[in-house]
Amino acid sequence: MTAPSSLAKLAALLADETRAAMCLALLDGRAWTAGELARHAGVARSTATEHLHRLTAGGLLVEERQGRHRYVRLADASVAALLEDMSARLAPQVSRPAGLRAATASAALARGRTCYDHLAGRLGVAVTDALTARGLLDQTGGFALTEAGLAWMAALGLDLDGGKRPVARGCLDWTERRPHLAGVAGARLCERFLARGWVARIGSGRAVRVTPDGRVALADLLGIDGVD
């Protein structure tokens, strides 16, 4: 059984706005430097480094070294799922973004984004709904690919071997308040969409947009029309 003290320690790691901001930034699946996260959170580099040490010691982040450079990233997909699930359980913010730039960025994230290594936002939910409607994904007793779904993934050349990671998992979308597809299947689909240029990242953040080729591919593969 989980000790209450261990759960309290884990909760305490995210009970700080700076550490929470850093973890949410790392949901883009990339590795960040301490300096980049310091600028993102609006704190001094020394302060950011102290927070990152705590997050790493607590198992939420891992450190990577490349030559003289040090980077941090989320420890694994389960940490990303924890952050996304917690975000989805928060009451929607009623305040409007300050300024046109912030409003544009917020709208882009809601339209389509990556959640660690899979698609989220309206785009992610649309893909999930289309897979379900076509009998490729079964949501009745949790998330599971059907036999037809496994064959469909194989036809796309997607390797679903993810070790101990589940093949399909529902991830509650924090903007749509409905689940999107996570797990190995969600990650492989996201990889394929990016590699084929069907979706493209907007700037350096999590937001993505569907390209003209992507609209054709989504219509052909899943009968999805009108995505943006």
Percent of the chain past pLDDT 90, that is, above it, reads 55
With bands split at pLDDT 50, 70 and 90, how would you rate the model's confidence at 1? low
Separation of alpha carbons 15 and 24, rounded Å: 13
Q: Identify the three-state secondary structure at position 15.
A: coil
| C-alpha pair distances (Å), 187 with each of 29, 194, 201 | 11, 11, 15
Residue 2 has what pLDDT? 64
pLDDT digits (tens, 9 = 90+) for 101-117: 555 667 888 889 988 88
Separation of alpha carbons 17 and 42, rounded Å: 11
Q: What is the mean pLDDT of residues 182-201?
A: 94
Q: What is the DSSP letter of 1?
A: -
Beta bridge partners of 173: none
Separation of alpha carbons 49 and 32, rounded Å: 12
Q: What is the mean pLDDT of residues 116-133?
A: 93
The yes-or-no verdict on residue 95 having pLDDT over 60 is no
With bands split at pLDDT 50, 70 and 90, how would you rate the model's confidence at 142? confident
Count of C-beta atoms within a 10 Å radius of residue 121: 23
Q: What is the mean pLDDT of the chain?
A: 88
Residue 80 has what pLDDT? 85
Separation of alpha carbons 27 and 67, rounded Å: 24
Residues 57 and 116 in one domain: no
Residues 213 and 107 in one domain: yes
Residue 4 has what pLDDT? 86
Percent of the chain past pLDDT 70, that is, above it, reads 92
> Which is more confident, 68 or 182?
182
Residues 135 and 206 in one domain: yes
CATH assignment at residue 58: 1.10.10.10
Residues 30 and 108 in one domain: no
The yes-or-no verdict on residue 132 having pLDDT over 90 is yes
Residue 159 has what pLDDT? 93
With bands split at pLDDT 50, 70 and 90, how would you rate the model's confidence at 63? very high
> Measured on CA atoms in the order 165, 168, 172, 176, is the torsion positive or negative?
positive
Separation of alpha carbons 156 and 175, rounded Å: 29
pLDDT digits (tens, 9 = 90+) for 192-201: 999 999 999 9
Residues 113 and 71 in one domain: no
Residue 78 has what pLDDT? 84
The yes-or-no verdict on residue 154 having pLDDT over 70 is yes
Residue 178 has what pLDDT? 87
> Would 87 be classed as within a structural domain?
no
Query: 23: closest CA among 101, 79, 88?
Result: 79
Residues 115 and 173 in one domain: yes
Residues 214 and 130 in one domain: yes
| C-alpha pair distances (Å), 84 with each of 23, 34, 80 | 10, 22, 6
The range of the structural domain enclosing residue 182 comes to 99-222
Bridging pattern class, strands 169-172 and 144-145: unpaired
Separation of alpha carbons 221 and 18, rounded Å: 41
Residue 87 has what pLDDT? 80
- Based on the structure, what is the number of domains in the chain? 2
